[in-house]
Amino acid sequence: MIWKTKAIVRKFVWDKMTNQGIARFPFPIYGRIPNFIGSDKAAGKIKLLPNYLNSLCIFTGPDFALKALRDLILKDDKVLAYATPHMKEFKMIKGRFNTTIKNLAKFGEKLAKNVDFAVVGSVAVDLNGNRIGKGSGYGDREIKYLKKKFEGKNFLAGTLVHSSQVFEDFSHLKESHDEKINFILTEKELIKIE
């Protein structure tokens, strides 16, 4: 299928996840990075990424779909880096902590560590590393900011989604501000982008 616009892809994913009962709180998922059944399993796939084992500080987006990943990062005694909503600031935290969006906005300290890699949320992603967010551009800006801040390193960026959010190709929808990703975490597998 040839997708005409990113908006059509988003609506298709939100409808499908809602109709098939894949979506989880918070509802409605429309206009959001959707949380889903199996997000905890997708988070666990991060351990298949060699970079994870050697990493000290990992960035994730603030979306609820990434909460299990944030919790895992802290459980594994790593530093969690994150952006507060609307990218007001970049922060970090370590130790036992409730990683809800509200707490992330309220607590943490200024990001002072090197970020090893980033995982952002997506509404859809293709096997070429193109991702579609909810339409606000925050995921792309977060990746771009981190790549620039930590240039010189082989910085990796990935996403965590349900397998139903993975598509073959929508490269024709890529815009100049879109940042490509290097890996996809799903409840079924880790997909590395060549």
pLDDT of residue 97: 85
Q: Quick check: bond before 26 cis, omega within 30? A: yes
**If phi over 0 gives left and psi between -120 and 50 gives alpha, with beta otherwise, what is residue 52?**
alpha
The per-residue pLDDT for range 73-104, each reduced to its tens digit, is 999 999 999 998 788 899 999 998 888 888 88
**Does 193 reside within a domain?**
no
Q: Is residue 194 part of a domain?
A: no
Q: Give a yes or no: residue 1 inside a domain.
A: no
CB atoms < 10 A from the CB of 172, how many? 9
Q: How confident is the model at residue 155 (pLDDT cuts 50, 70, 90)?
A: confident
Note the pLDDT of residue 124. Answer: 98
- Range 101-115 average pLDDT: 90
Structural domain count, the chain: 1
Q: CA 121 to CA 32: how far, in whole Å?
A: 9
Tens digit of pLDDT for each residue in 124-141?
999 999 999 998 889 999
Examine residue 20 and state whether it is found in any structural domain, yes or no.
yes
Domain range for 168: 6-188
Query: Given pLDDT bands bounded at 50, 70 and 90, which one contains residue 153?
Result: low
For residue 131, what is the domain's CATH number? 3.40.50.10420
Residue 148 has what pLDDT?
87
Residues 71, 144: Cα–Cα separation, whole Å: 24
Task: Tell me the backbone φ, ψ of residue 156, rounded to 5 degrees.
Answer: -105, 145
**pLDDT in the model for residue 86:** 81
Instruction: Tell me the CA distances in angstroms from 61 to 8, 44, 144, one per residue in order.
Output: 23, 16, 13
Q: Which pLDDT value is given to residue 152? A: 57
Q: How far is CA 9 from CA 46, 74, 120, 124, in A?
A: 26, 33, 18, 7
Q: Tell me, yes or no, if the pTM score tops 0.75.
A: yes
Residues paired with residue 80 on neighbouring β-strands, in sequence order: 58, 93
pLDDT per position as a tens digit, 161-191: 999 999 999 999 999 999 999 999 999 999 9
Cross-strand pairs, 160: 121, 185
Give the mean model confidence (pLDDT) for residues 55-66. Answer: 94
pLDDT digits (tens, 9 = 90+) for 8-52: 999 999 999 999 999 999 999 999 999 999 999 999 999 999 989
